Structure 1
Amino acid sequence: MNPIANISQQFAAQNYKLTPQREAIVKVLLDNEEEHLSVEEVYMRVKTSYPHLGLATVYRTLELLCELHIVEKMNFGDGVARYDLRDDHAHMHHHLICNVCGRLEEIKEDWLLELERRLEVEYGFKVTDHRLDFKGTYKTCKQNGCKADKQKQAVS
């Protein structure tokens, strides 16, 4: 089943309609899946198809998508809410976030399954979802950052 049809079914199951405006917002998220767009970025991209669509509609639609567990609202420490489509997988993917350049990379593998099994056996706690963000610095950024720091010190 294609993603739009699947999302339309999720809407219908909760007695909502996937209106053309909502569908346009979903398509923007699907087309930019790896970018983790903010509300404003979604708004700017959807305005090309629906110039009369208001920012408030985008906010409301994204919140509804969160309530329906179609997207996950995330904050990567920069104070901006970003939206990430949930996969058909049982768990969210994980992220590598560079402190220097801000690059965000996804890890689709779930390395925590064994830990989840142990939590269930040892503590009687069944994990239904998790999210893990790794913050650090890529080797290339660290090398370039050191050069940039040396240049700043030489100028000072």
Structure 2
Amino acid sequence: MSDSTDLKKAGLKATLPRLKILSILEEPRARHMTAEDVYKALLDMGEEVGLATVYRVLTQFESAGLVIRHNFEGGRSVFEINQGGHHDHVVCVECGEVFEFYDPAIEERQRRVAEALGFHVDSHSLYMYGTCLGMKREGKCSKKGTPGTGVS
């Protein structure tokens, strides 16, 4: 499916800035990007799109359900394409990398806790903060950009 079809299905007009931003977010290595990351990627591509436009488009994408915004500690917001599947995040407080994971045992435990409290969960998110092994051992993230790790 093309980016313009994705935008039209979301009720958004396929403008050039929207198409460019969506294509950046859909890159496999671009799992979790700040608005500033997207802006820098556009500049690297030679695109003249302002930072305010990037923020506006990302907010429109979030409202349309195309992206998910995560607000990590320290006021850092990152955006990722909404692929429909649930996963949780581990954030390295040293290098800032975001690692994804899914653990059925954690999901089941959360379901049981909610059930015991008589609570129906519509959605949830789990963010864990720590230091990745690369930063701890070598002072640099050894996993950054590694395919298949879920690392942004």
Q: TM-score, normalised by structure 1?
A: 0.69
Rg larger for: 1
User: Partner letter of residue 65 of structure 2?
Assistant: H
The residue aligned with 1:126 is: 120
Which residue number in structure 2 is paired with residue 23 of structure 1?
19
Structure 1 residues 79, 65: CA separation in 2 closer, same or farther (over 3 Å shift)? same
Following superposition of structure 1 onto structure 2, how do residues 1-156 of structure 1 map, counting pairs within 5 Å?
2=1, 4=3, 7-12=6-11, 16-31=12-27, 33-49=29-45, 51-89=47-85, 91=86, 93-119=87-113, 121-144=115-138
What is the total number of aligned residue pairs between the two structures? Answer: 139
Question: What is the RMSD computed on CA atoms of the aligned residues?
Answer: 2.9
Per-residue deviation at 1:120? 5.7
Report how far residue 42 of structure 1 moved. Answer: 0.6
Q: Identify, as 1 or 2, the structure richer in helix.
A: 1
Q: Please give the secondary structure, in 2, of the residue aligned with 1:74.
A: strand
Query: Which of the pair has the greater relative contact order for Cα pairs under 8 Å at 6+ separation?
Result: 2
What is the one-letter code of the residue matched to 1:44? K
Letter of the structure 2 residue corresponding to residue 132 of structure 1: L
Amino acid of the structure 2 residue aligned with 1:71: V
- CA positional deviation for 1:35: 4.5
Length-normalised TM-score, structure 2: 0.71
Unpaired runs of 5+ in structure 2? 140-152
Q: Secondary structure, in 3 states, of the residue corresponding to 1:31? A: coil
In structure 2, the CA distance between the partners of 1:132 and 1:3, relative to structure 1 (3 Å rule), is: farther
How far residue 66 of structure 1 moved from its aligned partner, in angstroms, is 1.2
Contact 1:38 1:83 in 2 (8 A): yes
- Contact 1:10–1:68 (8 Å) recurs in 2: no
Unaligned runs of 5+ in 1: 146-156
**CA displacement at 1:64 relative to structure 2:** 0.7
Q: What percent of counterpart residues are identical?
A: 29
